[in-house]
Amino acid sequence: MSLFIIACIFIITVLYLISTVKKPSNFPPGPRRWPIVGNTFLIKKLSKDLGGQYKALIKLHQDYKSNIIGLKLGSDEYVVVFGRRLVQHVFTKDEFQGRPDGFFIRLRTMGTRKGITMTDGKLWHEQRKFAETQLKHLGFGTVKMENLIKDELEDILLSLGDYQEDISLNQKLSSSFLNVLWTIIGGKQFNKDADRLGALLNLLRERSKAFDMAGGLLNQLPWLRFIAPDYCGYTCIQSLNTKLFELFQDIISEHKKTITDETRDFIDAYLHEKDSSNPDTSTFTDEQLVALCLDFFIAGALTTSYTLDFAVMATTRHPEVQKKLHEEIDKVLKYKQMPSIEDKARLPYVEALLLESQRLQHVAPTAGPRRVLKDTSIDGYSIPKNTIVLLSLRSIHYDKEKWSDPEVFRPERFLTPDGNLIPDEGLCTFGLGKRRCPGEVLAKSFLFLAFTALFNRYKVTFPEGKEPNSAPGAGILLSPQPYTVNLRARGVNDS
C-alpha cells in the first residue's frame, strides 16, 4: 500500500474521530467527550459510584452550575434539563414532543416503531386518541373501574386474613393491579398464582434495573450485543419481549375466534376499528395492537406497585405517621370497610402521605427521552433538531427552595395548618402536556384504594431485625429494596 493511501486513511480517521467529539455550536455546557463513545462510560461510572443515573445527572448539574447540560452518548447528542421551569417548558412545547428512533427503541416493539409510548407523528396522534377514548368508554375514571379495583382488593385482604408474619406484599399488589388493567384491556384476569405471570413480573423487574432512561449501553453502543449480549442487556430484553409478544399474540388470537359485534374490552374495540378501516392507509394493524398491549403492560406492571411499595415502607418506617393515618381513617371508615374514591376528600392525611411518598421516592426520577423535532433553543443555548432531551424530575422534587428539607419524609408539607390538602402543583409525577400519562386516573385510584384499605385493616410493622434499606435500586425506575412486613388486624379504634 502506498504512503499516499496510508496518509489518506490516517487523515480520514483523524477527521472522523474529531467529528465525534465536536460539540454543536452554542451547545449547553457539559463534560469532555471521548471519540466514538462520547460520555457513555463517564455516565456509566458516575451512575455506579453514586447509585443511579439520576444522581449522576444531578452531580453534573451541580458541577457545571447550569440548569441545562449537554452530553454525547454513543452517536447521539443529549441535553438534560433541571428545575420546574425548564422541565415544564420541554413537557409542553410542540418541538419537544418527538421520541427517539434508535435500535433500543425499536427493539422493544419487535424491531419496528409501533405503540404509543415511543412513537410520534400521525401514528402516535391517531393511536393515542383512540386509546384514550376507548379506555374511557371501557371504564377508566368510572364506578366500573372502581368496582374492579375493590373486588381485587377484597380478594387480597381475604387471603391475608387477620395476621401475617414476615410476608412480602409486592407480588400480590403487582398481580392485583395487572388484573384490573387487563380486565379492561383483554377482558380476562391473569391467574395470580400462575408461574408464567410471576416469571414475566420478574423479567420486567430485571429490565427495569438493567437499563436507564437513556437506554444504557445497548442503546448507545448497540454493536455490543454481538460481543457481550448479557453485559449490555440484550439477552434480558430479547427474552422479555419474546415472552410478552407470545402472551399478547395468544390473547389477540383468542379474541379473533370469539369476537362479535359486542365490544367486551379494548382488544375487541381495536379489532373492530381495524376491520372498518382502509388497510392501505390505516395505522390499525395486528402488529400495532400487540405493541399497544406491550405499552400498557410495561407502563403499568411496575410503576404503580413500586409507588405503593414505597408508601407502605415509608409509613411502616415511621410509626408516628402510621398512628396519625389510623386516627384519620377511623374518623371516616368503619373497621374493615372498603374505601371509595369519594372518601378522598375526607381523608386529606392519606392523600398528603401518598403525595409525600411520591415526592421522596418518585419511581421515575428522570423523564424522557424526547426528540427535538426542529432546531430550537433553551435558556439561550442552541438545541439542534434530533437532539434527545432528558428531564430531571428529581431536581423538582428535591428543590430546597421549594421544600426546605427535601430529604425528610413529612406528609404535613402537603397540608394547611388546619389540615386541608394542599394541591400537588409542586410535583410532576405523571408528566405534563400532550404526553401526560394516560393511565394516571387508574394509577391514582388504585394507589388510594389499596393503601387506605390495607391500613384500615392492619397495623403494619417490619419483622424484628428486618427493616429494609431505604436506598432504592436504580435503573429505568427506582425500585424498592426487597422487604417483608408483619400484618396484625386492627380492632375498632385500635391504632
Q: Binding site membership: which residues?
A: 437
Record the cell numbers describing residue 40, joined without a space: 457513555
Strands 68-73 and 485-489: unpaired
Q: What is the DSSP letter of 27?
A: P
If 0-12 CB within 10 Å is exposed, 13-18 middle and 19+ buried, where does residue 461 land?
middle
Question: What's the full length of the chain, in residues?
Answer: 495
Amino acid present at 186: G
User: Do residues 490 and 461 make contact, with C-beta atoms less than 8 angstroms apart?
Assistant: no
- Binding site for heme, by residue number, is 437
DSSP bridge pairs for 78: 71, 388
Q: Which residue has the cell 379494548?
A: 266
* Cα distance between residue 454 and residue 489, in whole Å: 10
Sheet of 388-392, strand order: 68-73, 76-82, 388-392, 366-371
Q: What's the rounded Cα separation, in Å, for the pair 187 and 260?
A: 14
Ramachandran angles phi, psi of 14, nearest 5°:
-60, -45
Q: Return d(Cα 362, Cα 377) in angstroms, integer.
A: 28
C-alpha cell at 295: 405499552
